[in-house]
A and B are shown apart, each in its own frame.
Chain A
Amino acid sequence: MSKDNKILEELTSKDYEHGWSVDLETDDAPIGLNEGIIRWISAKKEEPGWLLEWRLKAFNNWLTMTEPVWANVHYPKINLQGLRYYSAPKNSNKPKSLDEIDPELLQIYERLGINLNEQKRLQGIAVDVVLDSVSVGTTFKETLSKLGIVFCSFSEAVHKHPELVKKYLGSVVPMTDNYYAALNSAVFSDGSFCYIPTGVRCPMELSTYFRINAANTGQFERTLIIADEGSYVSYLEGCTAPQRDENQLHAAVVEIYAGKNAEVKYSTVQNWYPGDKSGKGGIYNFVTKRGICAGDHSKISWTQVETGSAVTWKYPSCILKGDYSIGEFYSVAVTNNYQQADTGTKMIHIGKNTRSRIVSKGISAGKSQNSYRGQVQVMKRATNARNFSQCDSLLMGDRCGAHTFPYIDIQNSTAKVEHEATTSKIGADQLFYCNQRGISTEDAVALIVNGYAKEVLNQLPMEFAVEAQKLLALTLEGSVG
């Protein structure tokens, strides 16, 4: 199998494409974390008193908590006092139109392949971009506002729609939920906010692009999506970060609220810097994402393609409170080199006749470790709850690991829960078959991996699916098992 190893070497030598940073004048908080910093951030953002109080309460809670250690990931302890908790590009605080945005910023987005201007207009996607800590521009605002849709930065929402923020902030992910969620609640800087009013079907994909640019900066964005009764929205999230030797922390919180008959589709393509071949640098991605199907017949669907980050710790979950509500989780998680991912979902069935579906496709290469961790919980009154889980692992080479940790907790005997799991390797036979038809090994791997992940990729909106496919191919260029 010497050829396999050679190909694996090639695979591990693939460099990260987005590894550049731009010198921007920034408006930074001092390094460190204490009550003063939180007051500093809140003041900087001219926040109302209630929000500052909320932050301080979260901070005091956080002080009593300890870092979770149960995940199947290993990394040196993060010095949270050595981080900067707020870094805003100067001059970008309140752009009234795209013309006012720092041209260097716009250049960043263009290098990321995001053109905030006409291109997106043509594609019909509304974009909000968060750089380091601040949201710098939201396109399509006017078109959306005619429908009563609010899509803006979190900070803007705090000022313009305080009643909504106040009502829903922390309602799905309480500030005390976990260590990183509590930290986020205390220091979150910005993020995206989205409100879809009753009966409105959002006519375009809403998209947020996150990028960490400054060094030693933690990114703590907060996303809140509220879909009122009978509404629909499809939301996309993309992420990149420059290449740096030190690890950078990213601890976001995403909350989704779906009212009666509402549907929210949340898609993520996560491509944070994964660290170099020897495992140096990379993003620690400790994210809490959760949605609540609060009303009857509501639906929340998570789709994620995870290719980046040195360490990922992420479980987009659904609380199925409304009767007949539906939760879905589609995931492709790729790890290479020394990446570690512990990701999965929680489906909590509370309402009657609730259904959930989990499709998880892990792909491990190099010396990486890839874990699926999923919980299906059926509460007492959740009569006729259904769950189907499928967890597949694909291994490339013999130095990586794939792990599955399913937890099932059933308190109602009418529940039907199915779990299927497979582990496979890309076979030499499959590669030879492709080669024999004239397909190069690199393209063969891309073909096989995309075929393997197809069920999940199919869930993504078209433009995203194409990007995700390319990303998978890039991350795994030329690999075998």
Chain B
Amino acid sequence: MLTIKNLHASIEGTPILRGINLEVKAGEVHAIMGPNGSGKSTLASVLAGREEYEVTEGEVIFKGKDLLELAPEDRAREGVFLAFQYPVEIPGVSTTNFLRTAVNQVREYRGLPALDAVKFLSVMKEKMKLVEIDQKLLSRSLNEGFSGGEKKRNEIFQMAMLEPTLSILDETDSGLDIDALRIVSNGVNQLKSDKTATIVVTHYQRLLDYIVPDYVHVIYNGRIVKSGTKELAMELEEKGYDWIKEEVNAASV
């Protein structure tokens, strides 16, 4: 589904990603871990098409298409979803209204008829259960005055509504208490299928107790320096990242 080859990206001339290679197949969950500043979130942003990042080398093929050639909205319409680390506030625009615009633009791109208000509402009600989100919250201005947990739940709710093929969760666990973490993870797990894939960007192993990865990759200095299964995450939890840094640094001497 997704093939990343030798991806280099920089921001304002500073290289952040220095040759990422990754293959994600349908049905898989990949965890991207790594110390602060290693490039985890940058990878998520570059995949979603955030314009501040300049791709200097490499390619990304998503479902046979050159992802980097697509505008951010077209990537979304093709099925790439990014759950933001810091969801953005849009005053005066309710989540409902926002999502109705989004869902119908995505549907139009996919050649599906727009959902009318009634149909949209019934789909919404069904998806709301996934993340135990309240209708009242959805009538409020998008993310404005939401608690950390509400924002993250809302992200997963949006994911449910947009039915992506590739979901990228950017530090979705940050700022969540244990109950919210459970609810959010439940939502993600229920949305998993053999046709979709998930990339979980996280700092801590904690989230991976709930969303169990098939593969774990460690990014350091803009490269994937170690890949393994969920046991690698456990090891990282136990020993921290220093041993990986040392390994990498020793190898480069």
- Interface residue ranges, A against B (CB under 8 Å): 3, 427-430, 432-441, 443, 447-448, 450-455
Closest B residue to A1 by CB, please name it. B51
Closest B residue to A429 by CB, please name it. B88
Interface pair A455/B76, CB less than 8 Å apart = no
CA distance A343 to B75 in the complex (A): 42
Interface pair B101/A453, CB less than 8 Å apart = no
Contacts A435-B49, A437-B98, A440-B105; A451 near B93 (Cβ below 8 A): yes
Residues of B contacting A436 in the complex (Cβ-Cβ under 8 angstroms):
48-49, 72-73, 75-76, 81-82, 84
Interface pair A438/B51, CB less than 8 Å apart = no
CA distance A435 to B109 in the complex (A): 13
Residues of B contacting A430 in the complex (Cβ-Cβ under 8 angstroms):
88-90
Does B91 belong to the interface (CB within 8 Å)? yes
Does B228 belong to the interface (CB within 8 Å)? no
Residues of A contacting B92 in the complex (Cβ-Cβ under 8 angstroms):
450-455
Interface pair B73/A433, CB less than 8 Å apart = no
Could you count the A-B residue pairs with CB atoms below 8 Å apart for me: how many are there? 81
Does B141 belong to the interface (CB within 8 Å)? yes
A430-B89, A432-B48 known, 6 other contacts, Cβ within 8 Å: A3-B51, A437-B106, A438-B102, A440-B73, A451-B92, A453-B92
Give which listed residue, B87, B89, B106, B141, contacts A438 with CB less than 8 A: B106
CA distance A436 to B80 in the complex (A): 8
Residues of B contacting A428 in the complex (Cβ-Cβ under 8 angstroms):
51-52
Residues of B contacting A447 in the complex (Cβ-Cβ under 8 angstroms):
90, 93, 97-98, 101
Query: Can you list 26 A-B contacts (CB < 8 A)?
Result: A428-B52, A432-B72, A433-B84, A433-B87, A433-B88, A433-B90, A434-B90, A434-B102, A435-B71, A435-B73, A435-B76, A436-B73, A437-B102, A437-B106, A437-B162, A438-B76, A439-B73, A439-B105, A440-B105, A441-B73, A447-B98, A451-B141, A452-B91, A452-B92, A454-B92, A454-B93
CA distance A430 to B144 in the complex (A): 12
With a 10 A CB-CB cut-off, give which of A427, A434, A441, A453 has the most chain B CB atoms.
Answer: A434
CA distance A440 to B108 in the complex (A): 12
Residues of B contacting A435 in the complex (Cβ-Cβ under 8 angstroms):
49, 71-73, 76
CA distance A437 to B82 in the complex (A): 8
Within 8 A of A (CB), among B58-97: 71-73, 75-77, 81-82, 84, 87-93, 97
Residues of B contacting A452 in the complex (Cβ-Cβ under 8 angstroms):
91-92
Residues of A contacting B81 in the complex (Cβ-Cβ under 8 angstroms):
436
Closest A residue to B105 by CB, please name it. A438
Closest B residue to A449 by CB, please name it. B92
CA distance A423 to B84 in the complex (A): 26
CA distance A455 to B48 in the complex (A): 33
Residues of A contacting B50 in the complex (Cβ-Cβ under 8 angstroms):
432
Does B158 belong to the interface (CB within 8 Å)? yes
Interface pair A450/B105, CB less than 8 Å apart = no
Closest B residue to A427 by CB, please name it. B88
Closest A residue to B110 by CB, please name it. A438
Residues of B contacting A450 in the complex (Cβ-Cβ under 8 angstroms):
92-93
CA distance A132 to B221 in the complex (A): 70
Residues of B contacting A451 in the complex (Cβ-Cβ under 8 angstroms):
90-93, 141
Interface pair A439/B101, CB less than 8 Å apart = yes
Residues of B contacting A433 in the complex (Cβ-Cβ under 8 angstroms):
84, 87-88, 90
CA distance A452 to B105 in the complex (A): 22
Minimum CB–CB distance from A64 to chain B (whole Å) comes to: 48
Closest B residue to A392 by CB, please name it. B91
Residues of A contacting B91 in the complex (Cβ-Cβ under 8 angstroms):
451-452
CA distance A454 to B142 in the complex (A): 14
CA distance A438 to B93 in the complex (A): 16
Residues of A contacting B88 in the complex (Cβ-Cβ under 8 angstroms):
427, 429-430, 432-433
Contact with A along B190-201 (1 / 0, CB 8 A): 000000000000
Closest B residue to A2 by CB, please name it. B51
Residues of A contacting B48 in the complex (Cβ-Cβ under 8 angstroms):
432, 436
Minimum CB–CB distance from A6 to chain B (whole Å) comes to: 11
Residues of A contacting B72 in the complex (Cβ-Cβ under 8 angstroms):
432, 435-436
Within 8 A of A (CB), among B107-128: 109
Residues of B contacting A438 in the complex (Cβ-Cβ under 8 angstroms):
73, 76-77, 102-103, 105-106, 109, 162
Closest A residue to B52 by CB, please name it. A428
Closest A residue to B97 by CB, please name it. A447
CA distance A439 to B87 in the complex (A): 16
CA distance A434 to B90 in the complex (A): 10
Closest A residue to B108 by CB, please name it. A438
CA distance A434 to B52 in the complex (A): 16
Minimum CB–CB distance from B82 to chain A (whole Å) comes to: 5
CA distance A453 to B91 in the complex (A): 10
CA distance A435 to B101 in the complex (A): 11
CA distance A206 to B88 in the complex (A): 41
The 10 closest A-B pairs by CB, nearest first: A451-B92, A451-B93, A435-B72, A437-B102, A454-B92, A438-B76, A438-B106, A433-B88, A435-B73, A438-B77
Minimum CB–CB distance from B50 to chain A (whole Å) comes to: 6
Minimum CB–CB distance from A188 to chain B (whole Å) comes to: 39
CA distance A457 to B158 in the complex (A): 27
CA distance A430 to B87 in the complex (A): 9
CA distance A240 to B2 in the complex (A): 52
Residues of B contacting A441 in the complex (Cβ-Cβ under 8 angstroms):
73
Contacts A447-B90, A453-B92; A432 near B51 (Cβ below 8 A): yes
Within 8 A of A (CB), among B153-210: 158, 162
CA distance A275 to B77 in the complex (A): 37
CA distance A433 to B51 in the complex (A): 12
Residues of A contacting B97 in the complex (Cβ-Cβ under 8 angstroms):
447
Residues of B contacting A448 in the complex (Cβ-Cβ under 8 angstroms):
90, 93
Minimum CB–CB distance from B139 to chain A (whole Å) comes to: 13
Minimum CB–CB distance from B145 to chain A (whole Å) comes to: 14
With a 10 A CB-CB cut-off, give which of B88, B92, B102 has the most chain A CB atoms.
Answer: B92
